[in-house]
Structure formats: structure tokens, C-alpha cells
Amino acid sequence: MPQSISNYNLYLYFFFLIFLSSIFNFQILDNYHDKFRLKNININGLPYNEKKNIQIELNKLKNINIFYLKKDKVLEKLTKFNFLENIYVNKVIPSSININFSKTAILGKTIIKGKKFYIGKNGNFINPDLLSEENNLPSVYGEFQIDEYLSLIKKLKKHHIDIENIKGYYYYKNKRWDLLFSNNTTLKLPSKKDGESIKIYKKLLNNNDLINVKIIDLRVSNQIILTNNND
């Protein structure tokens, strides 16, 4: 009988030892998981008023184990902010991520179905509510594809036309553009070979042939039609 009691005490001792060890191990495991939960998200590359909405969206990722957090998950949260480009995500163990990006250049503003949008160099129509107010942007009118506008900007820059002096772009259904400059001069481009016409315009500009001219009409091949302010 004493031997039986002794074995019982021994079993009881081992039971409590295993029980206490398990609690201790669970605490260690909880502490381990807590240490590597995402706590800090550092955003670089934007002023506060433009990154605050991004911060709110990314905060939804907090408390995820940093080892399980994939870059694609972070990028998914950023898709609605389509003014961002050059995005880099860097994990900082144990509980932080650093995100660096830049804002695309804003090249104009337009109206689509009664709603205002900015035109980004990255090829996106951008909700202006996501950005600080952009001043001195040209207005772009008509039902154009954004790549058509970006192509025009590229051609103007190629021929060293100062696009800062353009206050309005007008797109027509026959796929051609009129440009309104800050001095209220209008340049009418053809639907085809507009790059050649821009080159001709640049030569006229360099030769001072546009003094007192209100309209430069280059729509017809091999013709230059100038309308004076007095006409």
C-alpha cells in the first residue's frame, strides 16, 4: 500500500510538471508571435495630407505576422491610390515595414461624366480627392484616350514646346487637337502627322513669324494659314 501511494504522488508530480511546462511554453509562443506582429508602417515620399488616407488603409495590415506578410498584399492595399509609382516595400524585423514611393507628375485636368479628374503621367485618370490641390494645370476637353494625350505631350516636349504656356487642349472626334496658349493664340493640328506640324510651329516660333497672330492653322498638309488678331 505505501508503494502504491508513492507511485500516485510520483504520477501527480509529473502531471503538474507537464502542466506547468505547457503553460510556460504557451506563454513563450504567445510572446514570440506578439514580437513579430506588424506594429509600425512607415510611409515615405508624400506630404502628410496625401499620405494620411494611405496610412489608414495600410493600418488594416497591422498585427499580421511580418513573416507571413507578402509584398503583393501591401500592393493590393495601394491599388486605389493610382497616383503612386515606383513603390518599394522593405520589411524591418521584428515588427515594421518601410514603404517608399513617388507621386506621378500631374499633366492636366479634365471632366469625365460630370466629374473632375487629374491626368497622371503614369497613364491614369486620378481622383482629385486623393491629392493636394494642383494649381496652374491645363484643362483638357473632349472624349480622348489618355494615351493620345500623353503622346501629344511627348511630341511637344520633343520639339521643345513649353507646355507650361498651354492652358487648354481641345480634342475632336476626328482625332485631332487644338492647343490654346496663355497668350490666347490657338494652334490647330491635323489628325495625322501632328508631330510634323508641331515641328513647323516651332520653326515659325523661332523666326518670330507669329507676332500678332491669333490662330495658326496647320490642319491642311503643306499649308500654313495664319489669322491675325485684327481679322
pLDDT (tens place) for every residue of the chain, 231 residues total? 444 445 555 554 555 555 445 544 445 444 556 788 999 999 998 888 889 999 999 999 999 998 889 999 999 999 999 999 999 999 999 999 999 999 999 999 999 999 999 999 999 999 999 998 888 999 999 999 999 999 999 999 999 999 999 999 999 999 999 999 999 999 999 999 999 999 999 999 988 878 889 999 999 988 999 999 776
Query: Would you say 60 and 80 are in contact if contact means Cβ atoms under 8 Å apart?
Result: no
Q: What is the assigned CATH class of domain 106-228?
A: alpha beta
Domain ranges of the chain: 40-103, 106-228
Helix (H, G, I), strand (E, B) or coil at 172: strand
Cα–Cα separations (whole angstroms), residue 185 to 61, 158, 204, 206, 218: 53, 21, 13, 15, 13
0.85 exceeded by pTM? no
Choices 1.10.3210, 3.30.70, 3.30.300, 3.10.20: CATH for 40-103: 3.10.20
What is the rounded CA–CA span in Å between residue 53 and residue 35?
27
Q: CA 25, 30, 31, 36 torsion: positive or negative?
A: positive
Strands of the sheet with 96-103, listed across from one edge: 40-44, 96-103, 84-92
Fold match between domain 40-103 and domain 106-228: no
Quote the distance between the C-alpha of residue 132 and its chain's center.
Answer: 13
Crossing angle of helices 48-58 and 71-78, in 10° steps, is: 130
